Each structure stands twice: as C-alpha cells, then as structure tokens.
Chains A and B, each alone.
Chain A
Amino acid sequence: MLTPDEPPTSDVRPMGDSMVTRDMSDPTLVAAAAAGDEQAFAALVRNHADAVYGHALRFFGDRQTAEDAAQEVFVKVFRTIATFDGRAKFSTWLYRVTRNVCLDMARAGRRVAQPVDPATLEPLSTADFADDVVLAEALERAMRVLAPEDRDALGAVTLFGLSYAEAAETLGVPVGTVKSRVFRARRTLTTVLRDAEGGVTDGLPARN
C-alpha cells in the first residue's frame, strides 16, 4: 500500500487501497511502483512520457518510431524498476535508458535518424511566431539540424531536467563539454529560426 507524503488534497486520486498525489516525488513513486502500485506506474508515465517521447521524436524525426521507442523504454524501465538504485535520480536513469533504446534501434536498422538540411526549412512569417504551435513545429524541425551530441545534451537538460553534472556523467563527458554542447545547440536553434524567418529575428547572433 502506498502512503502519501502529504495530507490528501484535491489532487489525490484514490484507487483501491493506494493513493497517489501529483506532488509525489519520483523516489516515492518508484518505490510504490516496485511494490506493485498501479497508480504509481500511471503517475510515472504521466510525469515522464513527454520527455521520453520528445527525445525519441528528436532522434528519429518520426512520430510512429518515436512512439515505438517510448514504449520500448517504458517496457524496460517497468521490467527492472525493482532494481533501480535510488542514489541516482530516476530521470537520470530514464534518460540513459531512453538514449540507449534509441541508439539500439538505430543500430539494429529498425529506424535511421534522418538529418535535416537547414536550407529545407520552410520560411515562416514573423506573424507566425506569435502562434506557439507554429513556433513549436519550427523548433522541432530546427532540432533535427543540431549535431546529435548537441541535441543529446540539450535534451538531457531541458527535457529530462538533468543538471550539467548529471548529464556529463550519463554522457561520459566533462561538465564543461555539456555546457558547451547545450550552448551550441541553443545558439544553433536561434540561428536556424532566424534563417527560417528570413533573417529578421531580433538581431539574433549570426551562425559562425
């Protein structure tokens, strides 16, 4: 049975003899899931599905493959959740599994990540950028022109919420390298968006 850390609130979702709140931390959810709490599994999915799917989508550039990869990731995580060592953050572990699954799928030839030529990005009008949906789509296309190692570092930090030190350990590179990669990715994104707009985006820094 799962015991919530906090008093019941409107976010509490009782089910059977377990209760899961939105505020529960990952370690609590992982422990509950390892003990067989269905709602804890559901909460972990809700909390992390976007990050896993987002990484896979940026890796493969294809929604169907990204969904297959996300499913594979959660199968692996659920299968071994009882072995998770709480000394590391759950999101760090999840990021590592996600990255490995994507790499394994690519190596196995099940799907190949296709690079995108920045020149093929369709120009958007400045007015379009008021629309978050349009901007989000442009950003996702821009993500695909990033160097894979830069995209990996940016995803670790922005999708999975890893610190530079955690990302560095997972990627096996120094912290300074993560810092450079994240910065490089951001600079490229702003540059690509500026180019997509026709070069008139607020004087963003030019591509080196």
Chain B
Amino acid sequence: MDCLRATETLSAAHDGEPTAAEDLARAREHCDACASCAAFASALTRLDAVPGPRASEELVARLTALGAQTAAEIAEHASGATAQTPPGMSGAPGTAAPRVPRVVPGWWTPRFTIMATAAAMVFLAVAIGAAGLSALLGPQAAPADDIALLESTGAPGPDAADGYGDATTSDDGALSAAAPDDAARSSAPAPEYLTLENGVWALETPGDPLPSDATTAGVVTSALADSGEATKRTAFISADGLALWVADDGGTYARFARVTRTLGMRRYGLVSGSQLAYFGQWPMLPERFAAPTAPDGSPTFRYFGFDDLSRDIYVPVGASPDTGFALPPNMPPDDPAASNPYWTWWEPL
C-alpha cells in the first residue's frame, strides 16, 4: 500500500467510516515502516484533541432568547388556534408557524442609512429629470409609441404590469405573454420542461439509453421541442421516482429530472397548473389558486418562512406547507424555479 492510500484509509477510518479490516491492517502495517505516514496518523488524534471554535456566551444567550421568543409565539398561536377550534378537534400546535423576529445585524444600520440617502437622491434626480423632459416634449408624447415598445420587448401590458396577473392561453394551447414586471427576465425562455400528471420535469440528457429497471410511468404529451406537433409518448420512471425517460422521435429516450426543492430536508416537486406540451413554456399555479395580486402573496397566500435554499415561501391562507407551498416569481439563477415569471407551486413528494 502506498502513502496516499494508507493515509486516506486512516483518515476515513478515523471518521468512523466503514473500512475493510484488511485495508486498515495494511495501512497500519505501512505506517510501521513509514515515519511520515505514522506522523500523519498521530496527527489525526492530536488534531481531534484541539478544541474547535466556541460560540460566545453572549451569542448563546442571544440565540436562546430567540428560541424562547419563538416558543412563546408558538404557544400563543396554539392557544389562539385551540380557542377557534370546534369541539372535538385538536389544535395541532406543532404546525404553527412562529413569527421569529428578524434581528438586524450590527453592520446593517450604517449601510441602511447610506442606501436610504442614495435612494432619496436618485428619486429626486428622476423626478426633476422627468419634469424637465415632460416640459420639453409637451403633451404630444404618444402613448401608442409606448405600447408598441412594450409589445416589441415582450414587456407587460397595462393589465399585467404588476407581474401578478394570470397568464393567458391562446387558441392553440400555448401560453401567451402575460409577463411580470421584470421585462428582461420575463423574456427569458423557460427550460425544456414537460409535465407528467402535473409534475414538472426538466430535460437532462437527450438520447439516453433506457435503464432495464425503469418502469412505465404513464403517457406524456410533448413535442420535445419548442414547436411542432405535441404527441403522446410513453414515459418510464426510475425506482426513486426522480428520473423519467420519454421516447423521442429518433427511437431513443430523453432523460428528464423531476424539478424539486427541499424544505426541512423534505423534498417537494414543482407542479404546473397547465400542461407543458412545448419546451419554453413556464409552469404556472394550479387552477385552484387565484394569482396573487401583491408581492406578499395576498390574497391567496401568506408568508410562511424559508426553504432550505433560504428562499421565502408562502402557503395558502390557513394552511401549512404539509400540502405544498408557493414561491414568488423571478427566483435567482441558482434556484430550481429560476426566472419563472409566475408564482410556482411545490407539493411534497
């Protein structure tokens, strides 16, 4: 056994990882004859003995106070729920969502002051500029030109200007542009999605061989392109339910992955209220939900908390994430719902 293999084996065994007894014996045998690796082995123990970073008492006290406050809010919520619960039904306090106060870190205050000042100056400059421009152009500035510009960039019309309106469906079933407030993002094409029983899947590998242990999942309707004829195709699913193979037109299979995210380590899948028969279509909320009219999700949703990616999540009023949760439009690029101009809905898998 060489030095690298021996030390790597010792390191893994030190962490309690399953290591073949024979490998471990050979690693120790190697150390008997190699001073350098023997020193590494002894350093493993020595490193462990060194105390790691410790949270200060002040920090622990602050975190404990946060916990106490959260507990109190849960209790308050539970007692309120119990009071409103009809006789014979439990209040399910464990599902209450405490409103943990957002404590502002120390570094934030000076930055907030600077940003607020800068924002005020920019607002003033824009107001002065607009007033001056308006005076120069006079009343003949044509609204029709503005509308044409909006249409040419795919930006929202007046009805969808808030970014929360419903998308519309054209006669051929494809989504037309009911775009959000961010024209740049709304014009971005959707990933190569398809739907199987409303679950959304994203293309991973075209021309992938079908594994022998895949089982029939059902039939999807997709053109497997952004145009052309959407046809019914047989889909096969992996044992873990997270990979899907769909027969393509070339006699091979395209592999799709379920679009998921986690909340409390529980996996949730993206669901679309509309069938995605063409690549480039965005998943939308299921029909049972009216599109929110405000950034806080109201009146359909209320703010709940964060998922494991620290994204804000929203739940239907009076519900918990046990049955699913919603995310607002225009998530950043590293999010599974990146750039989607609509609210998205995620259900537990």
Contacts and interface: CB of A to CB of B under 8 A. Distances in A.
Given A38-B72, A164-B15, A74 B78 contact: no
A205 B105 contact: no
Interface string B48-87: 0111111110011011101110111011001000000000
Interface in B1-41: 3, 7-8, 11-12, 15-17, 35-40
B265 interface: yes
A43 B66 CA distance: 12
Contacts of B8: 179-180, 183
Nearest to A76: B306
Contacts of B119: none
A68 B107 contact: yes
Given A45-B63, A132-B51, A190-B47, A203 B36 contact: yes
A136 B51 contact: yes
Contacts of A97: 308, 310
Nearest to B325: A83
Given A35-B93, A179-B17, A203-B39, A67 B264 contact: no
B67 A54 contact: no
A37 B67 CA distance: 9
- Which of B64, B265, B321 is packed against the most chain A CB atoms within 10 Å? B265
A45 B266 contact: no
A177 interface: no
B122 to A, nearest CB: 19
A147 interface: no
Given A78-B98, A85-B264, A164 B306 contact: no
Contact of B264 (A83, A104, A182): A83
Given A79-B100, A88-B265, A190-B43, A140 B62 contact: no
A71 B71 contact: no
Contact of A85 (B43, B71, B102, B266): B266
Interface residues of B, number: 67
Contacts of B63: 45, 49, 70-71, 74
Contacts, number: 212
Contacts of A82: 74, 94-97, 320
B71 A37 contact: yes
Contacts of A37: 71
A164 B12 contact: yes
B97 A71 contact: no
A151 interface: no
Interface of A: 31, 33-38, 40-42, 44-46, 49-50, 52-54, 57-58, 64-68, 70-72, 74-76, 78-85, 87-88, 92-93, 96-97, 100-101, 104, 110, 132-133, 135-136, 139-140, 157-159, 163-164, 179-180, 182-183, 186-187, 189-190, 193, 201-206
Given A54-B54, A71-B59, 6 more contacts: A37-B71, A42-B68, A82-B97, A97-B308, A100-B308, A104-B310
16 contacts: A41-B71, A70-B63, A71-B66, A75-B100, A79-B97, A83-B321, A92-B265, A96-B262, A96-B265, A100-B309, A101-B310, A164-B15, A183-B12, A187-B40, A202-B42, A203-B39
